C-alpha cells in the first residue's frame, strides 16, 4: 500500500497513514550563512534538506530579508516562519548588533520581514534563545530541569537562561566583563581560531568565563553549544568549573528548530 499524504495548509498538519505531524519552518541568520529548514515539531528533526545561502555583505536588514525570501521560495514554504538573529529582540525590535551590521539596531523586525515575506505569522528571536528552546524540548533531559544556562560558542558567545524549561530571553552573557574583557572577546569560538589557541589554552579561557557565570548565577547545569560543540570531546573534559557542563545535543540544528518552535508556540520575545 502506498502512503497517502494530505497537506492542509491552514493547520499545517501533515497526515501520513494516521500519524499526525505538525510541521514548522525555521531560519537561522548567522554571520557567514543563513540557513533554513522544515522542522517536524514533534521530534525536532528536519524534514528534507537544510537550505543554506551565504550571508550578504554588508548584511543590512533588507539584504538579509531578501535572502530569507529566497530560502522560503526554494523550500516552497508559505506558512508561518520563525527567524533567529544574533541580537537582542524585544517587542519584535532588534536592539543590539554586536556581530552584525549596525543598521539592525532599532530595526522593527516585524515590519521588515512582513514587508519581504507577506502576510503570514512571523516570529523573530535571539539565536541563542532559539537554541535554548530547542535544547529544552529535544536535547539533554536535564535541560528542562531547574536553572540551566545554555551557551553558544561561535563568532560571539550567546546565552539562554532556562528555568524548568522556560526561557528568560535576551540575557547576553557574552558581553559580561570577565577579568577586564568582554567574555566573547576572551573565549568565543572565533577567538580560538583568530588567536590560534590550542584546545588547552582556549579551554582555560572558557573556564574563566564559566567561573564568573557560576559566581553570579549558580546554575544547576551549563549546556555548551555552537559549531565548536561538535568537537566537545577535545575541550569539555579540560574545563575547570564546579558546575556540571554537558554538550548541546542538537548542535547546529538548534537555532532552526528553536525558531520553528517559537513561531508555532507564539513565543515572541
Ligand atoms: C550577540 C548575541 C548573540 C551571540 C551569538 C553576541 O555577540 O550579542 O545576541 O546571541 O553573539 O550569536
Which of 109, 85, 84 lies closest to 99 in space, CA to CA?
Answer: 85
Query: Does ligand 1 come within 6 angstroms of the Cβ of 174?
Result: yes
Write down the pLDDT at residue 184.
Answer: 98
Query: Does ligand 1 come within 6 angstroms of the Cβ of 184?
Result: yes
Ligand 1 mean position to 268 CA, how many Å? 18
Out of 95, 98, 107, mutate this one to test ligand 1's pocket (max ligand atoms within 8 Å of CB): namely: 98
Which atom of ligand 1 approaches the CA of 96 most closely? Answer: 8
CA dist 114 and 122 (Å) reads 8
Cβ atoms of 162 and 150 closer than 8 Å: yes
Query: Does ligand 1 come within 6 angstroms of the Cβ of 172?
Result: yes
Here the cell at position 90 is: 524585544
70 CB-contact burial (10 Å; exposed 0-12 / middle 13-18 / buried 19+): middle
Query: Does ligand 1 come within 6 angstroms of the Cβ of 152?
Result: yes
Domains of the chain: 15-129+260-264 (3.30.420.40), 140-248 (3.30.420.40)
Ligand 1 mean position to 152 CA, how many Å? 9
Write down the pLDDT at residue 269.
Answer: 80
Write down the pLDDT at residue 1.
Answer: 37
Write down the pLDDT at residue 21.
Answer: 60
Q: What is the pLDDT along the chain (269 residues), one digit of tens a residue?
A: 333 343 444 444 444 443 446 999 999 999 889 999 999 999 999 999 999 999 999 999 999 999 999 999 999 999 999 999 999 999 999 999 988 999 999 999 999 999 999 999 999 999 999 999 999 999 999 999 999 999 999 999 999 999 999 999 999 999 999 999 999 999 999 999 999 999 999 999 999 999 999 999 999 999 999 989 999 999 999 999 999 999 999 988 999 999 999 999 988 88
Task: Check residue 248 and give left, alpha or beta (phi > 0: left; psi -120 to 50: alpha).
Answer: beta
Write down the pLDDT at residue 9.
Answer: 42
Amino acid at each position: 500500500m502506498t502512503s497517502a499524504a494530505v497537506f492542509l495548509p491552514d493547520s499545517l498538519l501533515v497526515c501520513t497513514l494516521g500519524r499526525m505531524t505538525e510541521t514548522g519552518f525555521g531560519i537561522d541568520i548567522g554571520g557567514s550563512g543563513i540557513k533554513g529548514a522544515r522542522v517536524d515539531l514533534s521530534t525536532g528533526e528536519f524534514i528534507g534538506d537544510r537550505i543554506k545561502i551565504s550571508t550578504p555583505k554588508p548584511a543590512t536588514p533588507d539584504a538579509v530579508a531578501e535572502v530569507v525570501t529566497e530560502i522560503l521560495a526554494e523550500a516552497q514554504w508559505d506558512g508561518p516562519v520563525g527567524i533567529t538573529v544574533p541580537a537582542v529582540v524585544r517587542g519584535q525590535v532588534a536592539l543590539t548588533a554586536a556581530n552584525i551590521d549596525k543598521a539592525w539596531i532599532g530595526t522593527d523586525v516585524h515590519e521588515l520581514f512582513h514587508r519581504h515575506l507577506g502576510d503570514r505569522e512571523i516570529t523573530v528571536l535571539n539565536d541563542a534563545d532559539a537554541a535554548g528552546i530547542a535544547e529544552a524540548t529535544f536535547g539533554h533531559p536535564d535541560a528542562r530541569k531547574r536553572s540551566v544556562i545554555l551557551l553558544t560558542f561561535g563568532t560571539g558567545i550567546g546565552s539562554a537562561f532556562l528555568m524548568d524549561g522556560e526561557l528568560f530571553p535576551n540575557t547576553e552573557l557574552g558581553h559580561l566583563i570577565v577579568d577586564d574583557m568582554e567574555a566573547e572577546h576572551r573565549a568565543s569560538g572565533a577567538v580560538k581560531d583568530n588567536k590560534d589557541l590550542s584546545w588547552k589554552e582556549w579551554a582555560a579561557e572558557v573556564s574563566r568565563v564559566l567561573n564568573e557565570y557560576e559566581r553570579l548565577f549558580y546554575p544547576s547545569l551549563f549546556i555548551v553549544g555552537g559549531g565548536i560543540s561538535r568537537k566537545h570531546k577535545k575541550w569539555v573534559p579540560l574545563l575547570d568549573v564546579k558546575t556540571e557542563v554537558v554538550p548541546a545535543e542538537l548542535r547546529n540544528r538548534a537555532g532552526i528548530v528553536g525558531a520553528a518552535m517559537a513561531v508555532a508556540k507564539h513565543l515572541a520575545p
